Amino acid sequence: MDILVLMNHAVKRYQRGKHTVEVLRDVTLVIERGEFAAVMGPSGSGKTTLLNLITGLDRPTEGEIVVAGQRIDQLSAGALARWRASHVGFIFQFYHLLPALSAEQNVELPLLLTTLSRKQRRNNVRAALELVGLTERACHKPGELSGGQQQRVAIARALVSDPPLLACDEPTGDLDRMNADSVLDLLRRVNSERGTTIVMVTHDPLAANQASRILHVDKGQLAPALPAAMPERMARLAHAVA
């Protein structure tokens, strides 16, 4: 077993006034290198907090987080930022592209934190845009792209530094079904062809069905993993209400 992510008895609490809110309770999780894991659960269940702990955007109140052999919960803020830059690609629901920059300039942004030469950065950007099928749109700004194209630019940006872990927080939540399916197909290809480990938070059962494993978070606890393939009846129901 080649473990990429190990979450060991993780607890996350927040202080809200006089009250302590326990968002995650004693969560232990192993994600193998090359997995495509979907995380589901009701709103407020702790899904995004789980993703934030795995990617170093937040720290556990208790427990250990080890990713790619690094105990990230013990890193300083500066060391953690450098670690994220080389180990994690992020994809969010609302793209977070800079409107004044072209697609290729948006994709290049993570590489500005590296020691790569300008020529190397350009080569990486071209390869990432080619992967997502947007070579011809490289000079277009976000406002000149459709929602699906903007999300593909965001995926290219997340992959441009070839990170071992891709963290997706509702990546299809703002897309229609056709564009959502296109993005999911791209994620599936990235996982199978490049071996990139993907952890995706989603409310969409059709999106979760693309994963090799479905994790369910409820009231801050991790339920037993669901089978890799969602039952056909659930998928048909999801189509009916989409």
Sheet of strand 165-169, all strands in order from the earlier edge strand to the far edge: 88-92, 165-169, 197-201, 36-40, 213-218, 221-226
Boundaries of every domain in the chain: 35-60+79-241
DSSP H or E segment with residue 154? helix 147-159
Query: Please, are residues 213 and 198 in contact by the beta-carbon 8 Å criterion?
Result: no
Architecture of domain 35-60+79-241: 3-Layer(aba) Sandwich (3.40)
Residue 208 pLDDT greater than 80, yes or no: yes
The model's confidence at residue 224, banded by pLDDT at 50, 70 and 90, is low
DSSP H or E segment with residue 225? strand 221-226
Summarize pLDDT for 84-111 with one digit per residue, the tens.
988 999 998 888 899 999 999 999 998 8
Structure tokens at 233: 């009846």
CA 152 to chain centre: 13
- In the prediction, which pLDDT does 67 show? 95
Q: What is the mean pLDDT of the chain?
A: 88
For 93, 113, 119, 212, the CA distances from 104, given in Å and listed in that order, are 20, 16, 13, 31
Largest Cα span, the chain: 55
For 78, 114, 164, 167, 170, the CA distances from 183, given in Å and listed in that order, are 32, 27, 19, 14, 11
As a whole-number percent, the residues of the chain with pLDDT over 70 amount to 92
- Closest to 133 (Cα-Cα) out of 118, 155, 106: 155
Residue 171 pLDDT greater than 70, yes or no: yes
d(CA 150, CA 98): 11
Q: What φ, ψ does residue 114 adopt, rounded to 5°?
A: -105, 180
d(CA 208, CA 229): 9
Instruction: Report the sign of the C-alpha dihedral through residues 103, 109, 110, 115, in that order.
Output: positive
Instruction: Report the sign of the C-alpha dihedral through residues 97, 98, 99, 105, in that order.
Output: negative
Residue 32 pLDDT greater than 50, yes or no: yes
